[in-house]
Structure 1
Amino acid sequence: MFYNPKEYLSQDLRFKGPMRRRYNDLLEVYKGYNICRYNRGEWERIGAEIIDDDLVVEADTIEEVRQWLDENV
């Protein structure tokens, strides 16, 4: 299941709310994107991002992130 990361972007950058990303664990680099694991609230999420850029996609599993990158990048 994919979520629109733009709804969380302002909270990630400006606030310390419950849905803010808590920490990042770099899992791998795929097609030039860093695939990271982090907690958002109570949920563990997987996201793909480029260093110093916005979050590109956020999903439940690393396979969903890879599939989205294959189809859209």
Structure 2
Amino acid sequence: MKSKRTGILMPQPIPDTDFITITEHHLNEWLHLLDHLQDVHAPTDQLAYCRNQVTRLQLELYQLRNTNWRANAG
């Protein structure tokens, strides 16, 4: 959608459910990678990095779901 005043394309808001879906997909990919790294006995630093990413995405997903729930409840 173009702004009438500037004629520049304006970003469209993305619903929270899209962010939730994308975050779930990323989390799933990192979990598969973690399983693979554990199976091949990867170095500890790689496992730690992967676990940190999984934890970060789990927290992000929790926050997105909590925000989305509150918006729908109110």
Bigger fraction of residues in helix: 2
The TM-score normalised by the length of structure 2 is 0.29
Bigger fraction of residues in strand: 1
Structure having greater relative contact order (Cα 8 Å, sep ≥ 6): 2
Structure with greater Cα Rg: 2
